[in-house]
Amino acid sequence: MVMKHTIAVLVNDQPGVLQRVSGLFGRRGFNIESITVGQSEEVGLSRMVIVTLGDQNTLEQIEKQLYKLIDVIKVVDLGSKPMVARELALIKVKSEPAERPEIMGVVETFRASVVDIGSTSMLVQVVGETTKIDAMIELMKPYGIKELSRTGVTAMIRGNA
């Protein structure tokens, strides 16, 4: 059964590591839905959070292949444990002054925020689970999305794990 998997990969913070990890996915025919990379709690290590599609066998193959890369320290299947996953999106939407109260209603409903207002557009920031981001984008489409930028998912296991 094909499912969405969220994997955290702790890697050495070295040039070329991202390329080697993404190349591994490409060579094996695995698609990356999203990838975020940033510093971890340990100096010299970065954490990658990768979202991919596949069955359980695909996930096991990805983990085995990742461990073969010299700069990979640890691989964790976040989806197998209770996790917190978030994404950020910036949405520039067309907005004539008459439409702004209506758009603000959507923004408030999603607990999003307006971070910039131009003469004919508004820049909205929304943070949450991927489904929330997708829903916000759908509701902004009728106004006309001028530009859209999404971070991809970042995630951690809940609690003391």
117-142 average pLDDT score: 96
* DSSP single-letter state for residue 141: G
> Residue 1's pLDDT band (boundaries 50, 70, 90)?
confident
109-134 average pLDDT score: 96
109-120 average pLDDT score: 95
The string of pLDDT tens digits covering residues 15-67 is 999 999 999 998 888 889 999 999 999 999 999 999 999 888 888 999 999 99
Q: Which residues pair with 125 in a beta bridge?
A: 90, 113
Q: Report yes or no: 69 and 9 within 8 Å, Cβ to Cβ.
A: no
Output the pLDDT for position 45: 95
Find the angle CA(52)-CA(55)-CA(57) to the nearest 5 degrees: 110
Predicted structure pTM score: 0.85
* DSSP single-letter state for residue 16: T
Q: Report yes or no: 6 and 62 within 8 Å, Cβ to Cβ.
A: no
The string of pLDDT tens digits covering residues 69-89 is 999 999 999 988 899 999 999
Phi, psi of 32 (to 5 degrees): -100, 115
Q: Report yes or no: 37 and 48 within 8 Å, Cβ to Cβ.
A: yes
Task: Answer with the residue of higher pLDDT: 120 or 28.
Answer: 120
Output the pLDDT for position 161: 59
Output the pLDDT for position 78: 92
Find the angle CA(51)-CA(57)-CA(63) to the nearest 5 degrees: 55
* Spatial distance between the Cα atoms of 153 and 32, rounded to a whole number of angstroms: 11
Q: How far is CA 96 from CA 39, 121, 123, in A?
A: 40, 7, 13
Q: For the chain, what is the mean pLDDT?
A: 93
98-119 average pLDDT score: 95
Contacts of 10 (CB under 8 A, 6+ apart): 40, 42, 45, 46, 47, 72, 73, 74, 75, 76
Output the pLDDT for position 2: 82
